[in-house]
Amino acid sequence: MEKYLTSCPACGRDFEADEEMRAATLEYGCPICATALTPAAFTPQ
Protein backbone atom coordinates (compact mmCIF):
# COMPACT_ATOMS: atom_id res chain seq x y z
CA MET A 1 0.00 0.00 0.00
CA GLU A 2 1.24 3.46 -0.87
CA LYS A 3 2.63 5.52 1.99
CA TYR A 4 2.66 9.29 2.20
CA LEU A 5 4.40 11.77 4.39
CA THR A 6 2.49 14.93 5.18
CA SER A 7 3.03 18.02 7.26
CA CYS A 8 0.18 20.10 8.61
CA PRO A 9 0.80 23.83 8.06
CA ALA A 10 -1.52 24.76 10.93
CA CYS A 11 -0.19 22.66 13.82
CA GLY A 12 3.22 21.79 12.34
CA ARG A 13 2.74 18.09 12.98
CA ASP A 14 4.40 15.64 10.57
CA PHE A 15 2.77 12.29 10.11
CA GLU A 16 2.71 9.27 7.82
CA ALA A 17 -0.45 8.25 6.06
CA ASP A 18 -1.43 5.24 4.00
CA GLU A 19 -3.92 5.52 1.13
CA GLU A 20 -6.92 5.10 3.43
CA MET A 21 -5.71 7.64 5.97
CA ARG A 22 -4.84 10.06 3.18
CA ALA A 23 -8.41 9.85 1.87
CA ALA A 24 -9.82 10.34 5.37
CA THR A 25 -7.52 13.29 6.01
CA LEU A 26 -8.56 14.96 2.74
CA GLU A 27 -12.19 14.51 3.75
CA TYR A 28 -12.03 15.39 7.46
CA GLY A 29 -8.82 17.41 7.79
CA CYS A 30 -5.72 17.03 9.94
CA PRO A 31 -6.17 14.29 12.59
CA ILE A 32 -4.62 16.61 15.18
CA CYS A 33 -6.25 19.99 14.55
CA ALA A 34 -8.83 19.30 11.79
CA THR A 35 -7.38 21.89 9.41
CA ALA A 36 -8.21 21.04 5.79
CA LEU A 37 -5.24 19.65 3.84
CA THR A 38 -4.87 19.50 0.06
CA PRO A 39 -3.54 16.56 -1.99
CA ALA A 40 -0.38 18.63 -2.55
CA ALA A 41 0.41 18.34 1.17
CA PHE A 42 1.07 14.59 0.73
CA THR A 43 4.45 13.40 -0.49
CA PRO A 44 4.55 9.78 -1.70
CA GLN A 45 7.20 7.72 0.07
CB of 32 to Zn ion, least distance (A): 4
Sequence-separated (6 or more) residues with CB below 8 Å from residue 36: 29, 30
In this complex, which beta carbon is closest to Zn ion, that of residue 14 or of residue 20?
14
In the sheet where 3-7 sits, what is the strand order?
Answer: 14-18, 3-7, 42-44
CB of 36 to Zn ion, least distance (A): 10
17 binds Zn ion (CB under 5 A): no
Q: Nearest 5°: CA angle at 24, between 33 and 41?
A: 65
41 binds Zn ion (CB under 5 A): no
Residues that bind Zn ion (CB under 5 A): 8, 10-11, 30, 32-33, 35
